[in-house]
Amino acid sequence: MEKLIIKETLRKAKPEITKKKEYKPRKKKDESSEVEEFVMRANEIPNIKVVKQAGSYKIGKSFHIFFETKPNVIHRFFTKLFFGWKWHDQK
């Protein structure tokens, strides 16, 4: 009798098996339409203007912060003193 009760409780406790959802691949867009949009928008993009740089602060080994105008002597001195950033003039 005890074995029968245990078997029944174990059978009821088992989770029901659910079907896995089927995978449906997404429809691919036509690549030709994307190319046409890119060509059409090429005329809308304005010309990029190059800004002259006076120099930059070098932080660490490879990070630079560029400036259009050169900071005054006091500003360069205190950034080197407090932050350890070194000023490099644009060549």
**CA–CA separation, 6 vs 16, rounded Å?**
19
- C-alpha to C-alpha distance for 52 and 66, rounded to whole angstroms: 10
- What residue ranges do the domains of the chain occupy? 55-89
**pLDDT per residue rounded down to tens, the chain (91 residues):** 666 666 666 555 556 677 777 777 777 765 555 555 555 555 566 666 667 889 999 888 888 899 999 999 999 999 999 999 999 998 6
**pTM, to two decimals:** 0.43
